[in-house]
Structure 1
Amino acid sequence: MQLDFSGKVALVTGAASGIGEAVARQLAAGGAQVVVADLHRDAAEQVASSIGAQARARQLDVSDADAVRQLVDATVAEYGGLHLAVNNAGIGGASQDTADYPLEEWHRVLGVNLHGVFYSMKYEIAAMLAGGGGAIVNMASILGSNGWAGSTAYVAAKHALVGMTKTAALEYSARGLRINAVGPGFIDTPLLAGMDRAAYDGLVALHPAGRLGKAAEVAALTCFLLSAQASFITGSYHLVDGGFSAR
């Protein structure tokens, strides 16, 4: 099914690789103008260049509220509006038991994975309402509904992100704005490139599908939720996890 995003302007954070890149490419393939936002400017520019004239690269640290505001404002000024957003930027953080978890890591992970999504929604929502509505997808994780030993900050942020998504959806659904969350399982992205084979196989074994997911599979669901085909879907948390959460 080819989704039609003609005439739409989309902002994707963390779009220089992995899931974010796949989302940006699928949105552009559907006709959207896409802002490829990422902390890593060079990588974002490579992605935007490979997509073509429909994409613009922008450097963005989502943990900086003013930087997020400026990017949303600049997007509206350049394109005349903002209709779609995918808040995908995120980091993993340290692996430590809760009592030993470093305070600086706690603040760093929540600064990106939770505060960054709040900042993004705060300014995206205002821009979308000014234009008559739109759709937002927040990238959660299977750890938005499950625990994972050693990842207290990441798990806390993703659980909170799901709750924040549901709350915002209740607040704005009657005003033409849909907001959903997607929860990927472990996805085969460049982030796993340095993992040893035993650890990789251990992750695969957690998924009844017998493999890790692909970024394009997460992007396909994300883009569907952004599309007019999903017009009655809001406030939901959708898993793409190969059966991980069904155990």
Structure 2
Amino acid sequence: MSSPPEPAVVVEGVEHRYGTVTALGPLDLRVPSGSFLVLVGASGCGKSTLLRLIAGFERPSAGSVRVAGAEPVPGRGAGLVFQAPRLLPWKTVGGNVELALRYAGVPRQERAERVAQLLARVGLHDVAGRRTWQISGGQQQRVAIARALAVPNPLLLLDEPFAALDALTRERLQEDLRRMSAETGRTCVFVTHSVDEAVYLGSRVVVLTGRPGRIALDRDIDLPRAGVEPDELRGLPAYAAYRTEIGHAVRDAAQEKPSRTV
């Protein structure tokens, strides 16, 4: 009998401190390959800290983090999308994506085709020659996602990438991301403050307590995805039930009331 696939991310006994302040932990978490994990909680609960540990930007004060079985290395183990797109304004849209391909070691003769493919995937096939300041905020965030997808690794980390966008653009990009995740099979770890966003995107939602961040609720989200329109999905009784449960857990966790892990 074959052994089960190795988890994409394993967090064991992790604590993280800034000086005398414990920001996170103790915390244990396993993220199966191909899943879409959403971390949700109040400000200061350690969501972004955990994401930085997974990305390798910081090392835990105690415990260990493994990505694909190894200690994470910044810029290698995962594609990253932040709240601000962080694009290079002196380069074109295509130039920003091409730079990511160059750093990933893609040969020069293959880059133009790959840039076109990546921009088409995020619905920007017609703006490759524009400067980044000539496109909307939502389009800039699509470029950031395309740039993250340019790096050939199976893990995508997203730190509140839609928080600064208007509601309509945010919903559109949520649907785009959910579709791209299903098509590419990449493991996603997504940070948000929004309970609705967590339930809509996640195959699994983890709620963190107030500082130090610990797991207050760990809930699989069992909702139909393929062939279901966003409004239809949000109208399901099960969707409302998940929203209610997770919303209560977030409020309780922010007040440092223990919830449950399931």
Superposition TM-score, scaled by structure 2 size? 0.36
Which structure is larger by alpha-carbon Rg, 1 or 2? 2
Superposition TM-score, scaled by structure 1 size? 0.38
